[in-house]
Amino acid sequence: MSDLWLLKGLKTGIVTEDLKSIAPFHQKHIAYAVASECPVNCISDGYVDMKKCIQCGICTNSDKTVLDNEDLFRIESKFDKKIKKSIFIFVVDGGSCNACNMEIHNMINPVYDLSRFGISFTNNPKHADLLLITGVITGQLDPAIKIAYESMPEPKKVVRIGVCSISGGIFDKGIDGISENCIVAGCPPDPVTILKAILSLCGMV
Amino acid sequence: MGEIMRIKNNYLLYNGASYYLGNSIKSFENRHYTEKTEEFVEKSNGIFRFRYGPLTGGLMESHAWDVYTNGERIIKVLPVTGYKHRMIKFGDYVRSVMIAERIQGNFAVSHAISLLNAIESIEDIVPSENIIKIRMIASEMERIYNHLFLIVREMEAGSLSVAQYRFMHLYEKILRLNGDLFGHRFLFGLTSVNRITKPRLNMHIFLKKLDILMADFGTIIDILYNSRIMMDRLQTGYLTMEEAHNVTGPAARGSFLNVDDRTSYIEKFVPASGYIYYNGSALSRVYVRIIEIMNSAKLIEALISDEISCKCSRMVHRLSDNAVISRIESPSGDLVYAVEIDRDAHKIKKAAMRSSSALNIDGFRKSIIKNSIFTDFHFNFESFGIMIGELDAGGDLENV
Ligand code: SF4
Ligand code: SF4
């Protein structure tokens, strides 16, 4: 059995990709659009506010791709010092559609291989350095998220993943009162963008 | 019952009438609603209750369970819902479809098509064959990646890491193929009223890429079938045919039940009886998914080579001039939308939704109490394909 896996592995070769060589997925289909057609009013003067864009596709059928959105993620404050130990992530779903959760989970995919950077997930916020929040933050989950945040040791950082957790996207967003250190736009953001944001937040790139 | 449109215990209550929704198009009937009695939970010596969730690494989505145990053995599990209630408010058609896609992002196509079938049938819109074809291809792609993801979760729960990473690699390739073809990895924005996104790849190039991935899938499956560890670990969570009578999708087919909404219009390519497999365990639900992945790829090939007629044949039950029930086979089974529209405003006036997860959660609860211990929880839960976003949607779709 294990021989078969080994042979298959040798035949397939290394599947892990260099992060620099993977283009962020959603960059390629943001295009010029008529502002009034955008369901979340995120276009003004030909500029797309990535904190709101739900990637609905309405403006992407145009051939006139004019926008180069550098703003796929934004760091508000990095860790003071470069972290030398392994980094642990605790993920909370604050009322998501699950696509953001699946893209976060996908970072362990051998294609992205989160562990090569010394980063892994933890099931316990008491061990976590980073809190990743997805979803609109429902009233029922807000207290649980606060407890998770408060039980994390210092220094700790908060990353909002996806437009739901940043602006609510197409839904109404709840308020959790936790200030974020990094936001990753997209609906959902792809694993490479999330990974690059985390590496940048931790001073690893 | 007056003006309400609500779903309760698998019945649609609408304007004073009640309709039993069943687990597939075959079992729908106009039947009098009967109230379910509250569950009694035994509180005796030795029975210990603990709350599992809502935030825990073991569960992908936020939800909780009250787990009753006696020693190691699980006696009962009760779902605690309400955590993921979002302010879901339908409005005009375009926006409503976008919201439907985001009720359960990984079932975006199924939710969008089910809602669209309802809207289009009330508005007497007959989409072209090309639109139907693209929708069918997308929903099979959705089935493939979701089934792959659940197999990944099963391998993860069983610590079968090599197999897990092999499947994950394929899963990523399928998501990328979705993106290359339709511009979104999870197929958001694919379709709206009488409209689809134009594919960005030539269909034959797409088919070639899919073939390569399926060949790879075949080799991995051949190796996996030899794994005694997998066989042993997943032989849990048995559900007999009788117990599965109200379960839907692959979970029902894994317990010998011949239900698949797709057979009502493409019987030749969806041999429901061919899926019925094995012994009703978590393993048989995984087997069903493996076979369905291969069949979905064949179905896509048949669609692209025009072997299947794409004439409009939606599964709807008309309730009134302005209201219908629409159903579709989502990756986890029968998904039902009931919709009433405001014709003049082109808006959704009332809506209700019964997800496949709402049925499968009952199957899970029945199967987990059969000699299961807590370590069986995840194998079993993932094998039913229960999605919390659609189960616990809230807002307009809140079930009473
Ligand atoms: S893709 Fe984004 S910017 Fe374009 S219309 Fe949709 S939400 Fe607006
Ligand atoms: S941002 Fe988009 S993908 Fe992420 S949870 Fe919200 S709706 Fe889903």
- Say how far apart CA B24 and CA B26 lie, in whole Å: 5
CA of B71 to nearest chain A CA: how many angstroms apart?
24
pLDDT at B326: 95
pLDDT on residue B178? 95
**Do the chains contact at B172 and A94, CB–CB below 8 Å?**
no
* CB contacts, 8 Å: A132 with chain B: none
| Pair of tokens at residue B205 | 């190039």
B357 close to B390: Cβ distance less than 8 angstroms: yes
Confidence of residue B271 (pLDDT cuts 50, 70, 90): low
- Chain A residues whose CB is inside 8 A of the B189 CB are 55-58, 60
Is residue A66 very low, low, confident or very high in pLDDT (cuts 50, 70, 90)?
A: very low
B347-354: strand order across its sheet = B315-320, B323-330, B333-342, B347-354
Considering just the CA atoms, what is the radius of gyration of chain A in Å?
18
ipTM of the assembly?
0.93
- A61/A177: higher pLDDT: A177
Percent of chain A clearing pLDDT 90 (strictly above): 50
B224 touches chain A (CB under 8 A): no
pLDDT of residue B277: 60
- In short, whether A83's Cβ falls inside 6 Å of ligand 1 is no
pLDDT score for B97: 96
Task: Tell me the ligand closest to A55's alpha carbon.
Answer: 1
Indicate which residue's Cα is closest to atom 6 of ligand 1: A56
pLDDT score, position A64: 42
Mutate to test the pocket of ligand 2, among B95, B102, B392 (most ligand atoms within 8 A of CB): B102
Residue A63: pLDDT band by 50, 70, 90 thresholds? very low
pLDDT at B169: 96
Shortest Cα distance, chain B CAs vs residue A105, angstroms: 9
Structural domain spans, chain A: 25-70, 75-201
Q: Nearest 10 degrees: CA dihedral of B139, B140, B146, B149?
A: -150
Q: Give residue B18 CA to ligand 1 midpoint distance, Å.
A: 40
Report the amino acid identity of residue A12: T
Q: By the 8 A CB rule, do A185 and A166 touch?
A: yes
B230, B163 in Cβ contact below 8 A? yes
CA distance linking residue A98 with residue B152, whole number of Å: 16
Nearest-neighbour CA in chain A from B127: distance (Å): 19
Q: Each residue of B14-50: pLDDT tens digit?
A: 988 999 998 887 777 777 777 766 566 666 778 888 8
What average pLDDT score do residues B159-163 get? 88
| pLDDT of the residue at B42 | 64
* pLDDT recorded at residue B101: 96
Q: What's the average model confidence in pLDDT over B352-377?
A: 89
Where does the pLDDT of residue B144 fall: very low under 50, low under 70, confident under 90, or very high at 90 and above?
very high
Percent of chain B whose pLDDT exceeds 90: 56
CB-hemisphere CA count at 13 Å for A25? 27
Give the C-alpha separation, A127 to A105, whole Å.
Answer: 18
Give the lowest-confidence range in B83-97, B123-137, B222-236.
B222-236
Higher pLDDT, A200 or B267: A200
Per-residue pLDDT band at A71 (split at 50, 70, 90): confident
What is the CATH T-level fold of the domain B3-30+81-399, as seen in this structure?
Cytochrome-c3 Hydrogenase; chain B (1.10.645)
Q: How far is the CA of B349 from the centre of ligand 2 (A)?
A: 25
Give the closest-approach CA distance of A129 to chain B in angstroms. Answer: 15
pLDDT of residue B262 exceeding 60, the answer is: yes
CB B23 within 8 A of CB B259: yes
- Nearest in space to B166 (alpha carbons), one of A21, A123, A7, A24: A7
pLDDT for A135 equals: 94
Q: Identify the residues whose C-beta falls under 6 Å from ligand 2.
A: A 96-97, 99-100, 134-135, 162-164, 169, 187-188; B 102, 105
Distance, in Å, from the CA atom of B214 to the CA atom of B371, rounded to the nearest integer, reads 37
DSSP class of residue B194? Answer: T
- The verdict on A61 touching B (C-beta cutoff 8 Å) is yes
User: Is the backbone of residue A89 left (phi > 0), alpha (psi -120 to 50) or beta?
Assistant: beta
Calculate the average pLDDT of chain B: 88
pLDDT number for residue B1: 43
Q: Check residue B267 and report its DSSP letter.
A: G
Instruction: Tell me which residue has its CA closest to atom 6 in ligand 2.
Output: A164
| Residue B220 forms contact with A (CB below 8 Å) | yes
CB-based contact B58 A29, cutoff 8 Å: no
Give the nearest partner residue to A93 out of B62, B179, B226, using CB atoms: B62
Q: Rounded to whole angstroms, how far apart are CA atoms B108 and B330? A: 9
Q: What are the pLDDT digits (tens) for B63-82?
A: 999 999 888 888 889 999 88
Task: Report CB contact under 8 Å: B60, A39.
Answer: no
Helix or strand run (H / E) with residue B230: helix B228-233
Residue partners of A6: CB distance under 8 A and separation at least 6 = none
Task: Using pLDDT thresholds of 50, 70 and 90, give the confidence band for residue B398.
Answer: low
Q: Which CATH class is domain A75-201?
A: alpha beta
Instruction: Report how far apart, in Å, the C-alpha atoms of B268 and of each of B126, B195, B262, B288 are.
Output: 24, 27, 10, 18
DSSP of B130-169:
HHHHHHHHHHHHHHHHHHHHHHHHHHHHTT-HHHHHHHHH
Cβ neighbours of residue A94 closer than 8 Å, sequence gap 6 or more: A133, A134, A135, A136, A137, A138, A141, A142, A145, A165, A174, A176, B62
B99-129 pLDDT, tens per residue?
Answer: 999 999 999 999 999 999 999 999 999 999 9
**Residue in A with minimal Cα distance to B391:** A97
Residue that wins the pLDDT comparison between A79 and A150: A150
What pLDDT, on the 0 to 100 scale, is given for residue A26?
58
pLDDT at B360 over 50: yes
Percent of chain B with pLDDT over 70: 93
Determine the average pLDDT of the residues in A60-65. Answer: 49
In three-state secondary structure terms, B78 is strand
Pairwise CA distance, residues B90 & B98, whole Å: 10
Distance CA B252, CA B249 (A): 5
| pLDDT at position A67 | 45
| pTM, 2 dp | 0.94
pLDDT at B343 over 70: yes
The residue type found at B139 is S
CA–CA separation, B126 vs B132, rounded Å? Answer: 10
Q: What's the pLDDT tens digit per position in B297-335?
A: 999 999 999 988 887 678 899 999 999 999 999 999 999
For residue B310, the one-letter residue type is: C
The H or E element containing residue B352 is: strand B347-354
How confident is the model over A180-200, as pLDDT tens digits?
Answer: 999 999 999 999 999 999 999
More confident site: B377 or A43? B377
Name the amino acid, one letter, at B55. Answer: L
* C-alpha span between A168 and B102 (Å, rounded): 12
For residue A170, give the ligand nearest its CA: 2
Burial A181-190 (b: 16+ CB within 10 A, else e): bbbbbbbbbb
Residues 36-55 of A with CB under 8 A from B: 39, 54-55
In the structure encoding, which two tokens stand for residue B17, read together? 């009438």
Token pair, residue A93, equals 């779903």
Structure tokens at B247: 């379960």
Give the pLDDT confidence score for residue A62 in this predicted structure.
46
Q: Positive or negative, the Cα torsion across B159, B280, B388, B147?
A: positive
pLDDT value, residue B268: 67
Q: Is the pLDDT of residue B130 over 90?
A: yes
* Alpha-carbon span B56 to B62, nearest angstrom: 8
